[in-house]
Structure 1
Amino acid sequence: MSNPINYITIIIVLTTISNYTNHPFALTSDGLSLLSLKSAVDQGGATAFSDWNENDATPCSWTGVSCSNISAEALTFSRVVGLSLAGRNLRGYIPSEIGTLTFLRRLNLHDNNFFGSIPDQLFNASSLHSLFLYNNNFSGTIPKSLCSIRRLQNVDLSNNSMSGSLPKYLRSCRELKRLIIGGNKFSGEIPAGVFPELANLEQLDLSDNAFSGTIPEDIGELKSLTGTLNLSFNHLKGELPKSMGDLPLTVSFDLRNNDLSGEIPQSGSFGNQGPTAFLNNPLLCGFPLKKSCKNSAEGLGGEGGSTVEGNVGRRDSKKGIKPGLIVLISVADAVGVAFAGLLIVYLYWRNKDSGKGCSCTGKGRLGGNEKSHLCAFPCIGKFPGTDSDLESDKGGGGGGGGGSSGVNGGDGDLVAIDEGFDCEIDELLRASAYVLGKSQLGIVYKVVLGNGMPVAVRRLGEGGEQRYKEFVAEVQAVGKVKHPNVVKLRAYYWAPDEKLLISDFISNGNLASALHGRTGQGSTLSWSMRLRIAKGTANGLAYLHECSPRKFVHGDIKPSNILLDHDFQPYVSDFGLNRLINITGNDPSSTGSLMGGALPYFKAIPTDQPNNYRSPEARVAGSRPTQKWDVYSFGVVLLELLTGKSPEFSSPTTSTSTEFPDLVRWVRRGFEDEKPLSDLVDPMLLKEMHAKKAVLATFHVALACTEQDPEIRPRMKTVLQNLEKIGA
């Protein structure tokens, strides 16, 4: 009689083979676990799960499922590593069987109608590092087993119906980078002792809950925090802990709509906050709020109060204002208004009479007519290039302008943003100038000043006269950006019918020309040059995202917006331009992209070409720009530097272009199919085989940047750090 143990062994072996091979007679264990989710969904699953077939050998081709080959004991199995069914209008619950997906790294079910509590068993999926369940109807508390996963980095449970307190065991999530639980029903005090343990936390959002008590003093120990610390719309009270000033200077506070009190500290990061960070906290006082702590302490009209509000308050509380005084004040106001009106009428008629029929705000703009020189207010200066010349120039490689024509300086001002820039408007407009390019986003000139210094002058257009303050505020914000890898704005000119931006002229063209040449003959950029360009561009973008006054989103990163000097140092250009164009009344969306991108224009890109540098979410009409847009676009630029292939003109493949319609998918498929590196990189780089390790590391950075899910993409700060680790 055979040993029964042998039969058991045979059964186990057969079961293992049926689970982990591609033999069609049985679905793998991962597939069976996923089918439990299909069974748990009672609405919306008809579309999402239409190809989830229990007769398949593996679930790797199912909608929303990602797999990877896992090697163990000389065997290779295809295991589920990602599940993404966001925005599918699914209604149901998360079954505990999902926790048996031991290689699951990303679970993305946001923007659905899932309900019930998050099962503790889910965190048996020990490889999980990203959990995105926001915008659902989950209830219950944060599971105790959440921090049992060592690799967990991203948790977004915002906009659900979860409740309970913020548990102290969160301090065990030591690898956590993002904790976002805003828009729930959490309550109680924010416990002390949690934040010192979260050394890697980059984003914390506890907003729109019912947290009470004081802000713990040790919150200042979140040294890796970036972006916004969001504690708004809670019931927090007490004074602001001074330790918050120890947070990184790039961190923005959002403490609105609480019951905080006392004086706002002025140390460290507090000095970088605007008034909106503290709004709707009635008992808060001090800078940047327009509320004196002295008045708050003494009360309106208290002893020693020196403000008008204090004196009026004291007068009202004691005696009130006498009727005779009220009449006197009213008469004085009426006389003042009448006088101001007469003055305005007088100035209007005087200016009109002095014009002698010639308006300095009429047709005499750049490319206008000579008649404008006859105005009483002289229409100053000359500028090469008539309107007809500019219409015929479609953005070639420089060249002189046509004949001279009148320029209307109007009653505008040339305002120097940089202290080292010394130029009058008449000198600027009379200088030698060359048309570099034109589009509906503006005409660009290279202008050589009297001292021989070349500058780039962009003419934005003639509209926006009603939005002067908005224009100036935006230009000033752009002008405050000072970084060695960002094009510097030197000055601007504003008049009702003319707006100009004067910036540094970068002399060696742009990255698009350097990579592909003016006639597409290819690039001679070495690997060390390309890596230098990548690092410099990442440095400039990281500064715009993290350190600039507005924490700018560029929104249009591509090689034509990356300028190069003679040492091939890169300069990010055109940030903030779309906003300025909108203020002046032009429509950037009508052209798609600038001809050749930034200053200067060396190569025109057809406007009907799709912008394949944009992230998937950026291509949705009405979507709002985010920094993750820029990260994706930079990732595509990196792939272009590595492969030498431009996504703007054609697919990297010919015979399979319908299967791989863009550069990102082509590279990803190449890695999935384990193609040799020589099939992916620019042939120019094959001569530098010593750089193989660095090239491969850069590919991984680019692929991380071009993840479909924006939450997965790293911040530019992290991208820069990863690139800096790569040697040339």
Structure 2
Amino acid sequence: MNNAQDGRCILWRRGHVMSVVAATMAALVVAPSPVSGQENAAGALLKFKTALVNADPALGDWNPSTEPCTGNTGNWAGVLCYNGYVWGLQLDSMHLQGQIDVDALSVLQSLRTLSLTDNSFQGPMPDWRKVPTLTSLYLSDNQFSGQIPDDAFSGIDSLKKVYLSDNKFSGPIPSSLASPRMVELGLDNNQFSGGIPPFSAGNIRVFNVSGNKLKGPIPPSLRKLDPSSFKGNSALCEGPSCEPPPDMEPNIHPLALTKDVPSSRRGLSPATIAIIIISGLLALILILLLLLLCLRWSLDDDVETPRMVMMRSEMVSPYSERRSPMTLGASPQQQATKLSFVRDNRHKFDLQDLMRASAEVLGSGSFGASYKAVLVDGEALVVKRFKQMTNLTKDDFHDHMKRLGRLKHPNLLPLVAYLYRKEEKLLVFDFVTNNSLGKHLHDDGKRPEEWPKPLNWLCRLKAIKGTVRGLAYLHAELPALDAPHGHLKSSNVLLDNNYNALLMDYTLSPVVNPAQVSQALVAYKCPEYALSGRMSRKSDVWCLGILILETLTGKAVDKQLGQGRQYGAELARWVKGIVEEANAKGAVGVFDKDMEVSAEAETEMEKLLQIGIRCCQEELDKRLDLAEAVKRIEQLQE
């Protein structure tokens, strides 16, 4: 785009953001494929429906006049299909009650996933052993209650994901859940009691038993998981013999008791009392020394602003918070608080400069909080905290950061520096003043007054072209990764002052803990991951298609990215809603009305819409390759 075209890339006034389309999950290309056994599937689903209360109007299109599946397309609400078979039911938030007829579901021999989240089902756990084909079961946010039989999940050999959160289950956690095949397990906010079964953590990516009444030791295989997975269980502890005292207060942190707690409760020996007194005196002396150091620092340096204090308390670890910044540089932890720069020609600063900078909280994302820090010399930076990178060794983390430092492209936001600490990592980037594509598309009434509004067609096309160029570069430079970006979404596409796209939060999957990868990274919300738990290089293409449709329609997609569900199903029905609307109204009918484009521009917009749809095909062999997508997008005229 030349300078004249850059000048035309301005923003016009817009109204309210259009609402998110809710439609049924299905493939985008209808390929009729009659399959034997569909009559049995329809009959089984209708039998299942008759046992439900409040099934209509949510399931009003469940009727014998149509088949539930045509190829990969679900013709009935909430029915997920593959090759003409029913492989899943996603009946979330439909106000359903009544009985769950597992006998009817047992007829569906291809049923793999069942999601009844956020309904009003009550009573005991249904007998899922009658549906042995299940791989995923989502029952969170209901009113199920009672004790689950210990063998409730025995014989379901392919079961990998179970979510029973926010119900009223009680009694012990069934040991049949502790299968080596289990990948994700959510049992939080129930009334489970007793101990935690001996889970094998080899494949566990998500595990949460917080908010229950569990007691006893945490199995060694689970102790490396995030401590928040166990919070709210007052009698849990870490050691193999750490039985809690009977008078332990219920609000003690689940990990507060450690292996140092004596097994005998008959009182403290004189030697132990002496050690406690001496330790107390030493602690008092240490506190006095720290107070003197803080006083000296406050006299020698400028007074901190409240925002500086906030930045320090958020960025420094609990141990470092008890020291003044002056002592950090001279302490034995010096190497743990030293910033590492990825380029030699970069202007250097240190952690103390960040601590003393004016700080502003930008927000919280999938990984943690982000801050804007303005140094004394006026340089503006963004500091991002990551607490989901604790499984990686120091050497492996350094190697990956150096790899990111070698990436150079005009459409990538370059990494400036990073800080390695075992419990958290800090990544530092340059601050981009024009915010993200997502902020411009969905201002929600919070757009700064100085922003023109809204983004016109030229700006949006320019952002998409810059995005695919940066994405193509990552795919060329990182051929070994399944999804070289892995986290492509509108909030991770920044816009500079000329509305050039700058991709951020790219190539994080190699360093994020496996337990958080599938929940945090957008590429894991593609259909192939929901179906098989596998990624491909076309997973980034799926994310690109979602981004294109969001950019053209102005329809927000963030609400479809919730955690702990079959993400591919949620996003695919969002896509299908746009396709159905385009078929009903014509392509122009789905475009963001505030773009106010010419007839010539509408032709190019229709071409981009079709590219976005082709990028969102659920079947990989029908989805565009990235190279083909780039070629077609580059041919679009401004």
* Structure 2 length-normalised TM: 0.46
- Which structure is larger by alpha-carbon Rg, 1 or 2? 1
Higher relative contact order at CA 8 Å, sep ≥6: structure 1 or structure 2? 2
* Structure 1 length-normalised TM: 0.42
